[in-house]
Amino acid sequence: MQFGLVEMFQAMSVLAKVVSFLLIALSIVSIYLLIERTLFYRKAKVLSKAVAPKLADLLKAGQIKEALALASKKEYKASHLARVTAAASHEFLEGGSSGLPFEQQIDTAERGTERAASIFNQELKRGLSVLATIATSSPFIGLFGTISGIINAFKGMAATGSGGIGAVASGIAEALVTTAFGIGVAIIALWCYNYLSTKSEIFDAEMSNTSSQVLDFFIRKQAK
For 37-77, the pLDDT digits (tens) are 999 999 999 999 999 999 999 998 889 999 999 999 999 99
User: What's residue 79's pLDDT?
Assistant: 94
pLDDT above 90: percentage of residues in the chain: 61
Least confident segment among 21-30, 62-71, 95-104: 95-104
- Strand (E) or helix (H) holding 70: helix 64-71
User: Confidence band (pLDDT; 50, 70, 90) for 17?
Assistant: confident
3-state secondary structure of 162: coil
46-85 core/surface letters (b: 16 or more CB in 10 A; e: else): ebbeebbeebbebbeeebbebbbebbbeeebebbbbbbbb
Domains: count for the chain: 1
Average pLDDT of 75-92?
94
What's the CA gap between 63 and 21, in Å, rounded? 58
The answer to whether residues 139 and 186 touch, using CB atoms and an 8 Å cutoff, is yes
The domain in which residue 104 lies consists of 5-223
Q: Give the pTM.
A: 0.83
What's the CA gap between 82 and 46, in Å, rounded? 12
User: What's residue 170's pLDDT?
Assistant: 63
User: What's residue 163's pLDDT?
Assistant: 52
